[in-house]
Copies of this chain bind each other. A is one copy, B any other.
């Protein structure tokens, strides 16, 4: 995601307005590597901007996504998560507890390989997601299959995938 200076220029060039709400959301996203949800950001921002509405947060996030400045993704926990890091990079996602973390440096394709165009699409960014089982879930699956370390929306089937 570009910094607020550049986004401000972009919005104005388009006939839009650089409102405090927009800028606040932009700033909150800068350097955020926690893959927050809309609610997460709303909760954070509400402290210093009590009049902010959740609707606005959604609106600003959606327009950033459409601009290709922000990436939204589903990790299976029932919430949409956002990531301002549009530099091509990889993520690790646990199939069982839905934990996400950025992959260690060096994993995934180098950024320079991002093509400008593919099958007629103008390419803006790329992401790589690696799915598997995190250390905790591997352990839990070995022992039995009772508990789920973190927010698994609601328990379901009895995972087993060998190890």
Interchain nearest-CB distance for A44 vs B (Å): 22
The answer on a CB contact under 8 Å between A14 and B74 is no
A26 within 8 A of B: no
In whole angstroms, what is the CA distance A122 to B156 when docked?
21
**A156→B66 CA distance, assembly (Å):** 9
Q: Determine whether A47 belongs to the interface, using a CB cutoff of 8 Å to chain B.
A: no
Task: Identify the A interface with B (CB < 8 A).
Answer: 14, 59, 62-63, 65-68, 71-74, 76, 80, 92, 94-96, 101, 103-104, 107-109, 115, 118-135, 138, 156-161, 163
Secondary structure call for the A interface:
mixed
Whether A130 pairs with B159 at a CB distance below 8 angstroms is no
Identify A131's interface contact among B74, B94, B123, CB under 8 A. B123
Cross-chain contact of A134 among B65, B121, B160 (Cβ < 8 A) = B121
- Known contacts A65-B95, A74-B80; is-contact A131 B138 (Cβ 8 Å): no
How close is A141's CB to chain B, nearest CB, in angstroms?
9
- B95 and A120 within 8 A (CB): no
